Amino acid sequence: MANSDREANRHAWTPTREEYSQIWNESRLSIPPFLRIPAAALTAFSIGMSLGLMHGSKTAGLRFRAENAHRLPTSTTGWYLYHKSKNYHLALGGVKEGLKVGTRLGFLSTAMFCTENLFDVYRGTKDLFSTVMASLAVAGGFSFWNRFSAAETARTAKKGLKFGLAYGAVQDLLSLAKGRPVGYVEFIKRHVGKATQLEEKTT
């Protein structure tokens, strides 16, 4: 009896091929949230890791040169050990900064895409307004966490707004190209259709 109940529950939660295809077709960028969010986080982490690696290794190299400027080696063996130690500090500094920046970008990306999906579910539609609200919410949380001043908070919110509008507009254009409904576009169509019908009735 227990096995049959578990089997029934498993089948109840397993989507059919048509339902699975519908999930893909109706999702943003044609990628379901359970794949889109991890992929975005991984992409953001990779970008942050690359940027942090370059910046961290450069900073570590400059710091190493400054700290050892007064004791430069005078022999071939000394120069060999100098460059070996320098390369070690370059690699260590790059990896540390890369992990730091990558983790930060990955977390912000995950927060933004999760919040965007929550707004989509709550509003029952997918459009740039959910993206803008998610971007502003994450920008506000980031500013609060870092205790930014009012000016810095406004600057961060402005960047979040620009990103939300740009990224949301790109997603909406792709949705329209795929034939998926976009919330505000459908709203405009309904009101234009009603206005047209009223004009036809009055004429």
pLDDT value at residue 1: 47
| pTM metric for this prediction | 0.79
Residues of the chain scoring pLDDT < 70: 1-15, 20, 193-203
Quote the pLDDT of residue 87. 93
Instruction: Give residue 7's pLDDT.
Output: 54
| pLDDT score at 50 | 95
Do 102 and 49 touch, CB atoms closer than 8 A? yes
Q: What is the DSSP letter of 56?
A: H
The C-alpha atoms of residue 63 and residue 57 are separated, in whole angstroms, by: 10
